[in-house]
Each structure stands twice: as structure tokens, then as C-alpha cells.
Amino acid sequence: MAFSAAQQQTGGLSGSRSLDLYEGGSGTLDTFGLLTLGTGSDRAIGHMTENGQHLAFTTRDTSNNSASRSLIIATKARNDDITLSSTPLDFTLSGNYFYMDADKHRLANVNESRLSLEEDGSGCRATLGLQSVSVEHDLSSNGTLSMPVISSTTNYNSASCSLDKGQVEIVFNIGGDALTLRGFAAREDGATGKTVKLINLLWLQDNALGLVFAQLDQDLSPTFDN
């Protein structure tokens, strides 16, 4: 089974790793669905969804003096394209990014930001409605921590947008700095008539890194089916 993965971490992981059921200290296999990725005391531990489409692992690396932590999200690779039309697909974003330079650190939450995708000739076009709540750690003034700053919504049109099967890459110009959203769209069973409901994206910007999720807006019924 092939998987695509997005990974946000402070240390590097490389090479092929085995996927096994978690074995507890008594040598018995876990019966609650825990899985391990790799071997040794630093092996990643996580879960797989019941249908086998998605995996999530937490990892740690204690091989050096500054231990690192990471999150791995994997979804089964798809070989079909996302279907777009002139009517935009509208998504709500959730997630965070971290900015760091020599003078300050900033943690920003982009929940309730908006992303829309529509066809554009043989490619795609995207619009980002960005809003955020952030706190800043000022290193130049005795480590002052700011109060939360709420930024109102600002709209940006994509500078480029590409889709290749489940792979997604969108570039925006944010105040003169390039923001790249790069990731993959989860597979769908087509029951909703849509070919995508969730896109996992890395937030890649100069001095900034984050992980965000784009969830398709849907009309939910207040009644149950008979």
C-alpha cells in the first residue's frame, strides 16, 4: 500500500522503516490499534483509520543533546485528479505556523481562514482569505511576550496553482513574501459527489513553517436518514 506523507519536525528522518503492531512492555501486542513505525526506543507510535486510508504518528529523536519531536500524517496515495469547475470549491482552514528570526518568535493560528479552488484553463486558480491570531516573543526586549494580536481577513489571489493527482501546490504573494501551501488531498469515496473534502498542507514561508488543514464546506442536514 502506497502512502503520501506531510511531515512537520525539527529533526530529520530518512530511510525505509517497518510498520508493526505496538508491543507493550510485557511483550504482548496492543489490541487498541496502536502501531509502530521503525524500531528501537525512538520508534514512532500512532494509529491507522479503520479503512486503512489514513495514518498519524508522533515521533521523537533523542540521538543528540537536543531531543526533537515531530508529527507524521500519511494518507493513501490517489491516482485520480481533483475535479474542479468554474464554481469554486470553498474550504475552511485550521492550523498554525511558527515564525522565527534573530529578534523574535511568533506563533500564529489561522483557524477560520478561507481557501477556494477553481479551474483555470488546464490548471487551477486559488484565493486565500487569511486571518490570524498570533502572539510574539520579543528577544530584543528581555523576552517580552505580547498580548494576542488579531488580524482581520485579507484576500490574496494565487501567483501559481498546480494539481497533480492528489498533490497540491499553491503559491501566494503575502506582502512581498512568497507563501507556498504544499500537500496532498485525501481520497474520497464519491458519496458526496466531490473528489476532495480534506487537503493537508505545509505552510512554507521565509523563516516560517506550519501545518494547516483545508476542510471542504458542506451543507449538513439537521435530520437523520430513515
Q: What would the mean pLDDT of 183-211 be, rounded to a whole number? A: 83
pLDDT in tens, 91-147: 999 999 999 998 999 999 999 999 999 998 878 999 999 999 999 999 988 888 899
Q: What percent of the chain has pLDDT over 70?
A: 78
Look-up: residue for cell 497533480?
164
The residue ranking higher by pLDDT, 161 or 77, is 161
Tell me the pLDDT band of 27, cut-offs 50, 70 and 90: low
Tell me the pLDDT band of 210, cut-offs 50, 70 and 90: very high
Residue type (1 letter), 182: R
Whole-number pLDDT of residue 159 = 96
Reduce the DSSP state of residue 192 to 3 states and report it: coil
Sheet with 68-76: strands ordered across = 3-9, 68-76, 54-61, 44-48, 35-37, 19-21
Whole-number pLDDT of residue 2 = 43
Low-confidence winner among 7-11, 57-61, 92-96, 180-184 (lowest mean pLDDT): 7-11
Distances from the Cα of 143 to the Cα of 35, 100, 116, 127, 135, angstroms: 40, 14, 38, 36, 12
The residue ranking higher by pLDDT, 8 or 24, is 24
Q: Which 8-state DSSP code applies to residue 23?
A: B
pLDDT in tens, 52-86: 778 888 887 777 666 677 878 787 777 777 888 88
The torsion of the CA quartet 219, 110, 51, 81, rounded to 10 degrees, works out to 80
The predicted model scores a pTM of: 0.76
**Over 80: is that where the pLDDT of 15 sits?**
no
- Residues 51 and 172: their CA atoms lie apart, in Å, by 35
Domains of the chain: 3-76 (no CATH), 89-216 (2.40.128.120)
**Over 50: is that where the pLDDT of 11 sits?**
no
Tell me the pLDDT band of 218, cut-offs 50, 70 and 90: confident
The torsion of the CA quartet 208, 166, 38, 97, rounded to 10 degrees, works out to 20
